[in-house]
Chains A and B, each alone.
Chain A
Amino acid sequence: MIQLTHLQKLEAEAIHIIRETVATCDNPVMLYSIGKDSAVLLHLALKAFYPGRLPFPVLHVDTTWKFREMIAFRDQRAQELGLDLIVHVNQDGVRAGVNPFDSGSRAHTDVMKTQALRQALDAHKFDAAFGGARRDEEKSRAKERVFSLRSAEHRWDPKAQRPEPWRLYNTRKRPGESFRVFPLSNWTELDVWDYVARENIPVVPLYFAAPRPVVERDGALIMRDDDRMALREGEVVQTRMVRFRTLGCYPLTGAVESTAATLPEIIAEMRGSRSSERQGRIIDHDGAGSMEQKKQEGYF
């Protein structure tokens, strides 16, 4: 009899979760952050419903500070795959001039990401939203359920999570409540890359090393993606061989120096790495327990 590989088992589990959501929720949506996890998630969703089309829209919460290459990649994929893509921007935030430099990373993330997400979910009355988060990313994520219940106010109560034994997901919710669904919960960063390689999944080129214009700021290498980023005194834009392990708002995402320009090189680099994926994320370090707090407020 066929022996399933580790990746095949992870794939099957994710497809099971995606189908379970569609079978039991009225109005699901897939959060699409344009990163590698989203790319894998989208790929799995297409598999889950083959030969049918994706039975839900894809939502990108745009903070207006994403790398330009991400936006171009998003629009190209949406067109190729015929996605029903919704792009949401928190216009209140834009009007108030919220940005990562003057407002600080915390306020920027709260207004342009967390509040924006809540606005979009409420406006469309989505009752389940898929996300690509993995338990290996962060300590509080390691505690999260696959079907994570949120109150009508989108709050997460980490102390009162429903037990989730075996593969039995409780998809019951009261009016107003919704789920964040994480089909990649049990994947590691390495699994994601191995799967990207195995399945030939297109990802944003920023993951591969290339000469890019970067500035050293507060110990991180920030890519100056457009001239909204004013240089501080003494700062110079240098061209360095860098890549990104994780993608977000460009002013808040640190690059790593690397020459890994292909998938096998990325995977090899990661196996030898002494730092974790989220190290480059500035918003995670805004204080101990900051991820948990953001999640409680409705962040993914």
Chain B
Amino acid sequence: MSAVALKAVLAAQNPSAHPAAAAAPALLRFITCGSVDDGKSTLIGRLLFDAKLVHDDQLDALGRDSRRFGTQGDKLDLALLVDGLSAEREQGITIDVAYRYFATPRRSFIVADTPGHEQYTRNMATGASTADLAIILIDARKGVLPQTRRHSFIVSMLGVRHVVVAVNKMDLVGFDRAVFEGIVAQYRHMAGGLGFATITPIPISALEGDGVAGRSPNMPWHAGPTLFEHLESVDVAGAVQLAARFRMPVQWVNRPNLDFRGFAGTIAGGAVSPGDEVAILPGGRRSRVARIVTQDGDLAEAVAAQAVTLTLADEVDVSRGDVIVAVDDALTARRAFAARLLWMSDRPLASGAELTLRLGASSATARVAIAGAVDIHSFEIHAADALAMNEVGIATIALDRAVALTDYAEDRELGAFILVDRVSGDTVALGLVDAGAVRLVRSVSGDGVPSASPGRSRHWVKVALDRLAPGGWPQIVEEASWRALASLAVAALVQLTFADWRITAAAALAEALLRPILRLAHQAAWRSFERQRIARGHYDAEGSGI
């Protein structure tokens, strides 16, 4: 497709005013991500530029900015169209996520340009949380980097099912097909377990425009779509999981006078009509919907994402944070649950920390027990009891009161939460409810369900070594030498005191072997105690099942 054909006709932004555009595929929300300097911001600048969305006065400003801050000599530095903060322009990096809105005749888009810098992973995750598709940029000279892995993992965890692997800076590798294919193979191997529905590789040069809007004469060997063709046609239907049954967290109780008591909120899933039987969680009180009140008149039906005010047929007690649900909905309120966390504060998260949880319209005090952390190189989960900044972990969370929630995979609205530091007020973690996560950790800690597999005993040994020496081989060697030294010293002392080789041998053995075994057993006992405590909370559900 030529750049001209892409000339933005903003019509698509308002289907109601332009019937012709109503048939266009729905809005696509996407992000760019990947490692530092892979060209994400340049690519967004290129997309806006090629879609003729850069106004004349903005182009003049871009020319001035490019001469002042640009990284491309006299050429336009397209990244400066999106890197809008002065700290970003000075350093030539992206710090915070920028949102851009644009449309082509075929589709409208919301794009979030996210930072590649590891320090700002939180801003990347913010952009990813609402995306249908991620463009993962890879510098053709560098291939898959740790940050490429981290971003791919986070994007997958947040439920993005479609990725474009944009191998960028092809101009710097002579538009070499072998380089492109090598990187794509490397990426596919890495992302094998991440559960993406589609992985679409596209070779591009964000700087020169190859492979973005038009076919590149420099890469006739690329048979796949250009980036624009793909973005305009990709089907991401079903990308966002919303509950099928009616659910509405109550945001605010509208009580203008004694005769009116309405429950205002945004519908999280399903549909509702007057007369519908509903239950209120936690607690499970029941009533019927009397009216759906809006300023434009009462509605006969309201659906997910609409902001409405409901009145109920009975005088039931409902307040902010409660969730009104269809009477046969399986949603329950719980006091404890398992979750995946992305920790975003530079102060590490330790087990036992108390934070404020915000989920739907609820907030509660949360005590976090960390069970494991994800190794960003192998994507494996290892046992852990603290999380460092930008680490993804698995945790069980106990609340001071019951909150209606469910798995993120089933319901993005009531399965997503943030954790807030109680002193600073900062948002320190982003979390996803995931009941299955606990199992993952149990199997790591060795007392889990499986398995008849021969790997089991080896697995146990590995776990034991991990616990005693989380630092790996160097630490194991150090530990062994320390044990040997300590038992020699004990042996010498005992021999001098008792002059009996049997007592000496027993003491030396105890020092060398019994101590570590006791330590493991003691740790295991404590962990199982902690787990039981959380499991008890888990079943301590109010207003269950209805």
Instruction: Please say whether chains A and B are actual partners in one complex.
Output: yes
- Minimum CB distance partner of A138 in chain B: B84
Asked if B306 is at the interface (CB within 8 A of a chain A CB), the reply is: yes
Q: Find chain B residues with CB under 8 A from A19 CB.
A: 251-252, 264-265, 307
Contact size class for A? 35 or more
CA of A95 to CA of B255 in the docked complex: distance in angstroms?
Answer: 45
Asked if B317 is at the interface (CB within 8 A of a chain A CB), the reply is: no
CA of A8 to CA of B61 in the docked complex: distance in angstroms?
Answer: 34
CA of A142 to CA of B94 in the docked complex: distance in angstroms?
Answer: 13
The answer on a CB contact under 8 Å between A194 and B17 is: yes
CA of A158 to CA of B61 in the docked complex: distance in angstroms?
Answer: 21
Q: Find chain B residues with CB under 8 A from A185 CB.
A: 99
Supposing A158-B85, A271-B9 touch, asked if A166 and B14 sit within 8 A by C-beta, the answer is: no
Interface 9-mer from A66-74, A82-90, A232-240, A272-280 = A272-280
The answer on a CB contact under 8 Å between B254 and A49 is: yes
CA of A22 to CA of B361 in the docked complex: distance in angstroms?
Answer: 13
The answer on a CB contact under 8 Å between B55 and A142 is: no
Supposing A7-B14, A168-B358, A168-B417 touch, asked if A53 and B256 sit within 8 A by C-beta, the answer is: yes
CA of A16 to CA of B249 in the docked complex: distance in angstroms?
Answer: 11
The answer on a CB contact under 8 Å between A159 and B87 is: yes
Supposing A46-B295, A142-B100, A163-B430 touch, asked if A188 and B305 sit within 8 A by C-beta, the answer is: no
The answer on a CB contact under 8 Å between B13 and A274 is: no
The answer on a CB contact under 8 Å between B85 and A23 is: no
CA of A53 to CA of B295 in the docked complex: distance in angstroms?
Answer: 12
Q: Find chain B residues with CB under 8 A from A165 CB.
A: 125-126, 129-130, 416, 418, 430
Interface 9-mer from A96-104, A109-117, A170-178, A203-211 = A170-178
The answer on a CB contact under 8 Å between A292 and B84 is: yes
When the two chains form the complex, which single residue of A23, A167, A276 contacts B55, counting CB atoms closer than 8 Å? A276
- Minimum CB distance partner of B15 in chain A: A5
Interface of chain B: mostly helix, strand, loop or mixed: mixed
Asked if A12 is at the interface (CB within 8 A of a chain B CB), the reply is: yes
When the two chains form the complex, which single residue of B89, B125, B265, B266 contacts A289, counting CB atoms closer than 8 Å? B89
CA of A51 to CA of B89 in the docked complex: distance in angstroms?
Answer: 48
Asked if B333 is at the interface (CB within 8 A of a chain A CB), the reply is: no
The answer on a CB contact under 8 Å between B358 and A170 is: yes
Q: Find chain B residues with CB under 8 A from A162 CB.
A: 426-427
Most-contacted residue by chain A among B57, B95, B122, B125 (CB, 10 A): B57
Q: Find chain B residues with CB under 8 A from A1 CB.
A: 271, 301, 303
- Minimum CB distance partner of B415 in chain A: A166
When the two chains form the complex, which single residue of A9, A143, A292, A293 contacts B97, counting CB atoms closer than 8 Å? A143
Asked if B101 is at the interface (CB within 8 A of a chain A CB), the reply is: yes
CA of A170 to CA of B293 in the docked complex: distance in angstroms?
Answer: 28
The 3 A-B residue pairs whose C-beta atoms are closest, nearest first, are A139-B84, A52-B256, A165-B129
Binding site for B on A (CB under 8 A): 1-2, 4-9, 11-13, 15-16, 19-20, 22-23, 46-53, 135-136, 138-143, 158-159, 161-170, 172-174, 177, 185-186, 188, 190-191, 194, 197-198, 267, 271, 273-276, 279, 288-289, 292-293
Given contacts A16-B266, A188-B10, 20 further A-B contacts (CB under 8 A): A1-B301, A1-B303, A19-B251, A52-B256, A52-B260, A139-B84, A143-B85, A161-B96, A162-B427, A165-B430, A166-B412, A167-B266, A170-B427, A194-B14, A271-B9, A271-B10, A273-B55, A275-B57, A276-B55, A279-B57
